[in-house]
Amino acid sequence: MLYGLNLLSHTLTLSMEDRPGNLTLTNATFEYHKPYDVTEETWIRVTIIPIYVVIFITGVTGNFLVIYVVLCRRGMRTTTNLFILNLACSDLILCLLAGPITPASVFTQSWIFGEVLCRLAPMALSLSVFVSSFTCAAIAVNRYLSLIYFATFLIKCIYD
């Protein structure tokens, strides 16, 4: 390693005819500098992997608990809680896919999960982020409409 760069050298010898306008190239050295990769450091791996494990376990456990409570208790099936249920399902998919895939891909610097998951994972992760964003927007619209119609209802009751 040279100043944080991995240096690979290749020597190539080409001989071309010496004619006017032609170039003779002999013993050319091409150097490829592999960029320094911080994920190859042991202390980074020792730090990042436990953080990912804690986030993964917390995310999966928390989202499963939210899903269980909203589905198993009838009193929890309000409009707002159904939006939260939708967020929990989306976040659960995100935790289950991104939690193990992201660090494994970064640390191995290759895709080890097969071709099917190679095509399925980015689509599922993108869909999960879209559903989360859309659900947050739906919650905002729901809160806005409930405030507007609640205020309209109060004004109507006062003046009637």
Same domain, 118 and 130: yes
The pLDDT tens digits for 100-131 are 998 888 888 888 999 999 999 999 999 999 99
In a domain, 1, yes or no: no
* Residue 160 scores a pLDDT above 70: no
d(CA 58, CA 62): 6
Q: Could you tell me the CATH number of the domain that includes residue 108?
A: 1.20.1070.10
Task: Give how many domains the chain has, as a whole number.
Answer: 2
93 confidence band (pLDDT: 50, 70, 90): very high
Which residues pair with residue 8 across a beta bridge?
32
State the pLDDT at residue 12. Answer: 46
State the pLDDT at residue 15. Answer: 47
Same domain, 86 and 17: no
Same domain, 115 and 46: yes
Same domain, 101 and 122: yes
Q: Report the SS3 class of residue 73.
A: coil
The pLDDT tens digits for 128-156 are 999 999 999 998 888 888 888 876 654 55
Q: Which residues contact 23 (CB under 8 A, 6 or more apart)?
A: 16
The parent domain of residue 91 ranges over 40-159
Same domain, 147 and 84: yes
Same domain, 121 and 143: yes
